[in-house]
Amino acid sequence: MLEDTIKLLRPSVLKSKNIMAIKHKEQRVAIFIDVQNMYHSARNLYNKKVNFAEILKTGVGERKLIRAFAYVVRTKTGEEKPFFEALTKLGLETRVRDLQEFYGGMKKADWDVGITVDAIKTAASVDVIVLVSGDGDFIQLVEYLKNQGKRVETMAFGKSTSSRLRETADEFIDLGETPDKFLLKK
- Give the separation between CA 32 and CA 56, rounded to whole angstroms: 10
CA atoms within 13 A on the CB side of 54: 15
Whole-number pLDDT of residue 63? 97
110 confidence band (pLDDT: 50, 70, 90): confident
Whole-number pLDDT of residue 97? 87
- The answer on pLDDT for 15 being more than 60 is no
Report the greatest alpha carbon distance in the chain.
Answer: 67
Mean pLDDT of the chain: 87
Q: What is the mean pLDDT of residues 8-18?
A: 40
- The architecture of the domain spanning 26-182 is 3-Layer(aba) Sandwich (3.40)
Residue-range domain boundaries for the chain = 26-182
Whole-number pLDDT of residue 107? 64
- The answer on pLDDT for 18 being more than 70 is no
Instruction: Please give the model's pTM, rounded to 2 decimal places.
Output: 0.85
What end-to-end distance do the CA atoms of the chain give, in Å?
48
14 confidence band (pLDDT: 50, 70, 90): very low
